Structure 1
Amino acid sequence: MGPFDWHPHAPLEPLVLDWLNGVELAVLRLDRIDPLISGNKWFKLTEHLTQAQQAGASGIISLGGAYSNHLHALAAAGQRFGFATVGLMRGHPQDTPTVLDLKAFGMQLHWLGYGGYRARHAADFWLPWREQYPHLYPVPEGGGGVAGALGCAVLVEQARGQLSNVGWADYDGWWLAAGTGTTLAGLALAEAGAHPVYGAMAVPDDHGVAQNVRAIAAQGVELLDASRGGFDKVDGALLDFIRTTEQATGLPLEPLYTGKALSALKQQIEAGRFVPGTRLIFVHTGGLQGRRGIKG
């Protein structure tokens, strides 16, 4: 694997909504760093790619579903930077828009079924894949783990360097969706307790987000359930909220992560959780390619 000298910059922009009730909101637009290698996925990959280089690997093997933002970014990066990619897929063969992209980007796919995919946390899961692909470096689902979090820590510095763009001298906290908790753990590591990081969980409690975060960052994180009953649970009220927000601000959202997170913030503000004058940075984690699988 060759050197990676791409260091994308995410703009920080003000976000004005009538329900903020005096709370000031700025959005870190990770969705704008690249049309294909979009969102927080690249930042979660950077340290894994560095470790792969150091190990002398020729590419990456990782896991995800048929609409995986992680695999989409990984495959696009592999095509752009010239390294091999293999995707271990949840479920059975299907040609979703995301899967068609993965194939077009040159990623080799293996469908594990649902039982096979559930075994991904078993101690011996990687053994046969390491034997089949000895020159590829394994990366956890979603680019998670300590390496993924460390790659996201740079986002704190990026945001702090742009506070003048939104007329701020400081801020009071972060707000973002949590799928595995890797990105918010990275923010908490970089903050080291200076500002709290609020994670709106896009998945139910039993998905282990709290445990993942605690294993990486011991302080400065507060989680709340924003899953609306499940990772892929999308209801009419949420879709209406997204449509209304997009019409009012021009900010594109998707219902699995960013839409749920911003809707949860609205509920917290309406419940009086944040007083007027509070300044929050909302991280737009990307994932817009996944909207192609949502009906509504």
Structure 2
Amino acid sequence: MGPFDWLPRAPLEPLQLDWLQGVELAVLRLDCIDPLISGNKWFKLTGHLAQAQNARGIISLGGAYSNHLHALAAAGKRFDFPTVGLLRGHPQDTPTVLDLKAFGMQLHWLGYGGYRARHAPDFWLPWREQYPHLHPVPEGGGGIAGALGCAVLVEQVRAQLPALGWTDYDGWWLAAGTGTTLAGLVLAEAGAHTVYGAMAVPDDHGVAQNVESIVQGGYELVDASRGGFAKVDPLLLEFIETTEQACGLPLEPLYTGKALLALKVQIEAGRFTPGTRLIFVHTGGLQGRRGFIA
């Protein structure tokens, strides 16, 4: 496979919202890099694809609304390599799953118990036997390889600061599902700026452990899960609608909406003082909102 030399650049845009209270916010629009291979997913994949030079394709895991599998299947179709998806739960035709099929991804449904076993030491053995020529990628494109693929985002932001009239910034703010992108930013920052991860999943999903396995220090995690993964409430949906009307930034309720709402809560609590400059990473995933927002 590969090598793949497609490395899109995401625009950095100022964000004006009433509740910022003097905090300056710029958003790195990873949702704008491509209509299908959107968000941070491609950057995570680049690290794994670099390790898959001797493989014919990729096999990975995700749910029925998985942004990671969606981007992987789209990449496989565009760059002509086979993809296999191991899915949580039982067969269902969500908009995401229909896309996966259209992109040519081979799907296997593991049920819920089978999917929970994904961290077991022998989980991959039968799949390696069935697909010996495919390279396995962890859920969400996680691990050190995925983190290293995201490290380039720091360079992309720094190159665009002059257009904002900024010479520097104080930190990053982004949603954390596995913590892989956050870890990549921490690696690239090397202590220069704090990376704040708004956890879109509860503690028992292992975000802290995932991050700690890659980096030590340089980041903070805050709870943004609103009660659980994929938990959506009227306040969150109202916030997303109000934000889109106010500044035109499209959000989805699983990650970016939760992360930006959590930032609002932190600012209103006095966590960040006026004049603080933050980079908000729009991690994409807009395809997944088809199951939540009409």
Asked if residue 67 in structure 1 is aligned to residue 65 in structure 2, the reply is yes
Unaligned runs of 5+ in 1: none
Q: SS of 1:222's equivalent?
A: strand
Deviation string 1:255-293 (CA, Å, 9 cap, x unpaired) is 110000000000000000000000000000000000011
Q: SS of 1:22's equivalent?
A: coil
Contact 1:92/1:111 (8 A) holds in 2? yes
Unaligned runs of 5+ in 2: none
Percentage of pairs with the same residue: 85
Q: 2: distance between equivalents of 1:208 and 1:67?
A: 20
What amino acid maps onto 1:270 in structure 2? E
Specify the alignment match of 2:16 in structure 1: 16
Q: 2: distance between equivalents of 1:96 and 1:233?
A: 17
Q: SS of 2:35's equivalent?
A: coil
Q: 2: distance between equivalents of 1:68 and 1:52?
A: 21
Q: 2: distance between equivalents of 1:263 and 1:237?
A: 9
Contact 1:63/1:71 (8 A) holds in 2? yes
Q: 1: distance between equivalents of 2:168 and 2:47?
A: 28
Specify the alignment match of 1:30 in structure 2: 30
Deviation string 1:102-135 (CA, Å, 9 cap, x unpaired) is 0110000001111111111111000000000000
Q: 1: distance between equivalents of 2:215 and 2:17?
A: 32
What amino acid maps onto 2:189 in structure 1? E
What amino acid maps onto 2:18 in structure 1? D
TM-score where L is the length of structure 2: 0.99
Q: SS of 1:254's equivalent?
A: coil
Specify the alignment match of 1:255 in structure 2: 253
Specify the alignment match of 2:131 in structure 1: 133
Q: 1: distance between equivalents of 2:132 and 2:293?
A: 40
Contact 1:192/1:219 (8 A) holds in 2? no
Specify the alignment match of 2:152 in structure 1: 154
1:74-223 equivalences under 5 Å are 74-223=72-221
Specify the alignment match of 1:283 in structure 2: 281
Q: SS of 1:245's equivalent?
A: helix
Contact 1:13/1:165 (8 A) holds in 2? no
Deviation, 1:3, is: 2.3
Moved beyond 2 Å, runs of 4+: none
Q: 2: distance between equivalents of 1:160 and 1:126?
A: 39
Contact 1:30/1:284 (8 A) holds in 2? yes
Deviation, 1:90, is: 0.6
Deviation string 1:186-218 (CA, Å, 9 cap, x unpaired) is 000000100000000000111111111111111
